[in-house]
Structure 1
Amino acid sequence: MLEIKRATPEDADRAFEIRREAIRSQCIGAYSAEQMALWTRGRASDGYSILMEKLFYLGWVNGEAVVTGMLDLANNELGALFVRSAFTGRGYGKAMLDHLEDVARQRAVAEVVLDSTLNAVSFYRACGYVGHEQAVYRSPAGLVLACVPMVKKLAQNSSAAGDQSECLVT
């Protein structure tokens, strides 16, 4: 069972390692070895840890953090959706995406956007995201990656209320 909890500043290193592992194992073929090395260098304290101040979540299975995800309300943007390679294909990425969309709905966000990595476009399309044009993502650290900007209109759920800091997903 997956338990999704709001991340704390103490979770930054753990979240960064999930990100690093996911990129190195799941982006092979979509990006060059040089791009992946640049993308995964450093430590959480190099700037990634600041994301814990946003609506950043970790998904846990039997006490192990296995998936991350974030909602940036300033831009209505979903991001940092990474799943440990040993846990892919079990629905944990979809569960985190559903959770982030629910959090957005609770805050009356009508539409969310994201920049999909090339290897994840089919996943997001299967989840109702639309976007076809390839673009270039430029990170603050100077990383340049091809991506596909995508968007999804969220149906509003009138029963959603308040901030869920935890949820259980089977």
Structure 2
Amino acid sequence: MFEIRKATQNDAQTAFDIRLLAIRHQCIGAYTEKQMLAWTKGSAEDGYDVLMEKHFYLGCVQGEPVATGMLDPENREIGAIFIHPDFMRRGLGKRVLRFLEDLARDLGLREVCLDATLNAADLYRRYGYVGEESAIYHSPSGLQLACVPMVKKL
């Protein structure tokens, strides 16, 4: 059974590890090895733990975290949707995305945006997100990665 719950400060390392594994598994070919290693270096204490205080959620299978997702209502932004590689291709990413969109609606948002990784842009288009132009994502750590900014009307 898949359930989504609010993340706590104690979940930071688990969420960080899911992110690391998902990036290294799913983004091969979309980004260089050097970019992926730079993107996944460090630890949860390097700032990822601060995200747990926001609208950050974990998707769990039988109580075990296997997916992450976040909503930043101030910026109307969905992000950090990562699925552990052992649980990919089971529709869990779609369920996390829908959960975050429903949360955004409940908070009164009429649209949401996200910066899709190059390998995920087509997936988001299938779920109603619009965006074609590439841009550069500037991470808080200073890393710059190509992405596709996308928007969806709720």
TM-score by length of 2: 0.99
Higher relative contact order (CA 8 A, sep 6+): 1
Match of 1:68 in 2: 68
Distance 1:130 1:110 in 2: 15
Q: How far apart are the structure 2 equivalents of 1:48 and 1:140?
A: 10
Residues in 2 aligned to 1:43 and 1:140: alpha-carbon distance in whole angstroms: 14
Question: How far has the Cα of 1:127 moved from its partner?
Answer: 0.7
CA deviations on 1:63-102 (whole Å, 9 max, x unpaired) are: 2111000000110000000001111110100000000000
Aligned to 1:105: 105
Partner of residue 13, structure 1: 13
Separation of aligned partners in 2, 1:83 and 1:33: 20
**CA distance in 2: counterparts of 1:19 and 1:143, whole angstroms:** 16
Partner of 1:163: none
Distance 1:145 1:64 in 2: 30
- How many equivalent residue pairs? 154
The 1-side partners of 2:115 and 2:63 are apart by 30
| C-alpha distance in 1 between matches for 2:149 and 2:103 | 21
Q: Distance in 2 between matches of 1:40 and 1:140?
A: 13
Shift of 1:111: 0.3
1:54 maps to what in 2? Answer: 54
Q: Which runs of 5+ in 2 are unaligned?
A: none
**Residue 135 of structure 1, CA deviation:** 0.4
Q: How far is the alpha carbon of 1:136 from its aligned partner?
A: 0.5
Q: Which has the larger radius of gyration?
A: 1
The whole-number CA distance in structure 2 between the counterparts of 1:133 and 1:29 is 19
Deviations 1:132-168 (A, max 9, x none): 00001111211110000000000xxxxxxxxxxxxxx
Match of 1:121 in 2: 121
Partner-residue secondary structure (3-state), 2:74:
coil
In structure 2, the residue matched to 1:167 is: none
Give 4+ residue runs of structure 1 displaced > 4 Å after superposition.
none
Q: Which amino acid aligns with 1:48?
A: Y
TM-score (norm 1): 0.90
Which structure 1 segments of 5+ residues have no match? 155-170
Once the two structures are aligned, what percentage of the paired residues are identical? 60
Read off the aligned partner of 1:124 and give its amino acid letter.
Y
